[in-house]
Amino acid sequence: MAYQTEIISSQPQGITTTYTVTVGGQNSWNTDICDCCTDMKVCLCGTFCPCILACQVAKDFGECCCLPYVPGTLVALRTGVRERYRIEGSICCDWVAMVCIPPCALCQLARELKSRN
């Protein structure tokens, strides 16, 4: 039996991945969650008729306008907007925003879709 030996003359090279994060640009919301007064129509609708605004946001996102009537879908809608536009955040942050300050979070979603569409 003959054994063949191989001499290794170089090490395998690793792959380097670089990520670019733009602060205040593509990877963040266009308006802050508490900037409700930047668009008074959205602010008033979100304050006095949040169901109508939620239906409009769902429609603007390309979903059925009845989607907000299903429990939990506003969190999913916010997560979908964040994922589509590559906005930084997490599902946990989406849940906290939609549970703790739902009118402000809904207005932020409406302003985001309005500015991006």
- pLDDT given at position 17: 58
Number of domains in the chain: 1
- Are the C-beta atoms of 94 and 79 separated by less than 8 Å? yes
Residue 70 covered by a domain: yes
Residue 69 covered by a domain: yes
24-57 confidence digits (pLDDT tens): 446 899 999 999 889 999 999 999 999 999 999 9
Residues of the chain with pLDDT under 70: 1-2, 11-12, 14-26
List the domain range (segments joined by +) for residue 94: 36-116
- Are the C-beta atoms of 75 and 21 separated by less than 8 Å? no
Residue 66 covered by a domain: yes
Residue 65 covered by a domain: yes
Assessment of whether the complete model's pTM goes beyond 0.85: no
- pLDDT given at position 19: 47
DSSP 85: T
- pLDDT given at position 36: 82
